[in-house]
Amino acid sequence: MTSETRTLIEAADIIGVEIECPDCRLTIFYPVAVEKVMKIGPSCPHCNRLFFDSSRNNVYPGSHYPAIDAIQEIASNLRKLTRPDRTDIHALIRFRVAMEPKATE
């Protein structure tokens, strides 16, 4: 007999995005429920460690920090999925979380 353990979370369970500085370990929480665009900075406000590289060679035209734009887009889409006035979604939407530990280098 085979056994499988899965961890699933609903879109409404995701309440925000947390960014942790790899140097000073400061954590910053950005809630996704807020309707305005999150103001994610490119560096740690405590120690100034760079969190994200800016785009180079016009790989992502129109975006100075493509990673920040991607995080903000995810948050915006989660807000759209969990709005209480949504009547077009009849299924339960879940996200599967990886349970196997990542290999460290």
Q: Could you report the per-residue pLDDT of 16-31, keeping only the tens digit for each?
A: 999 999 999 999 998 8
Residue 43: predicted pLDDT: 94
What does the pLDDT average to over 35-56?
Answer: 86
**Does pLDDT of 49 surpass 70?**
yes
Residue 83: predicted pLDDT: 86
Residue 55: predicted pLDDT: 73
**Does pLDDT of 57 surpass 60?**
no
Cα separation of 51 and 41, whole Å? 8
* Contact present, 95 and 9 (Cβ < 8 Å): yes
Average pLDDT, whole number, for the chain?
85
What does the pLDDT average to over 32-41?
Answer: 77
Residue 63: predicted pLDDT: 66
**Does pLDDT of 62 surpass 80?**
no
**Does pLDDT of 50 surpass 90?**
yes
Cα separation of 22 and 45, whole Å? 13
Q: Is 19 helix (H, G, I), strand (E, B) or coil?
A: strand
* Contact present, 41 and 33 (Cβ < 8 Å): no
